[in-house]
């Protein structure tokens, strides 16, 4: 089974979800992530606040080394597709096989335009949502 986490740039939410899920060490579970708009990354491999969360929680070794663009092939390779926002689902909906694939839309907010002093608080809140929803998903799949 493969879980595919999808967000905008694949430098923040989906990468955190991928790393956390992979850290659970579920036998036979593949985990990947991608972004529907990676062109906006301007060559940045990961957001600095994402790297900080991964380091603080000892998840760096579970994170993909670079972002990847969401493609039809990647979407079709997943058994469970987790979209961080509805717009990500809309981007991919024509590539989804509703008979074979399970879809979840989590509505995890992006960092957005906030004061620099508030970024880590917002990121920590988003990570906590990702952690809780990932644990719930793995339990539902019988993996935990």
Q: What is the pTM of this model?
A: 0.94
Q: Which pLDDT score is estimated for 72?
A: 96
With beta carbons less than 8 A apart as the criterion, state whether 75 and 93 touch. no
For residue 92, give the H/E element and its range. Answer: helix 86-92
What CATH number does residue 23 fall under?
Answer: 3.40.50.2300
Residue with tokens 């593949």: 30
Tokens of 50: 């994402």
| Per-residue pLDDT tens over the stretch 64-85 | 989 999 999 999 999 999 999 9
Number of compact structural domains in the chain: 1
d(CA 46, CA 104): 24
Which range of residues forms the domain containing residue 109?
Answer: 2-140
With beta carbons less than 8 A apart as the criterion, state whether 122 and 4 touch. no
Q: How confident is the model at residue 22 (pLDDT cuts 50, 70, 90)?
A: very high
């Amino acid at each position: 089974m493969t879980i595919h986490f999808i967000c905008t740039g694949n430098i923040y939410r989906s990468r955190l979800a991928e790393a956390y899920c992979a850290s659970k060490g579920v036998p036979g579970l593949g985990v990947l992530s991608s972004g529907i708009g990676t062109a906006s990354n301007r060559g940045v491999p990961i957001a600095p606040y994402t790297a900080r969360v991964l380091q603080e929680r000892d998840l760096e070794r579970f994170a993909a080394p670079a972002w990847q663009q969401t493609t039809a092939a990647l979407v079709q390779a997943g058994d469970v597709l987790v979209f961080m926002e509805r717009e990500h689902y809309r981007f991919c909906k024509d590539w989804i096989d509703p008979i074979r694939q399970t879809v979840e839309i989590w509505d995890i907010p992006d960092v957005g335009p906030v004061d620099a002093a508030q970024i880590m608080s917002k990121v920590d809140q988003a990570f906590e949502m990702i952690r809780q929803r990932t644990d719930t998903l793995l339990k539902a799949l019988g993996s935990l």
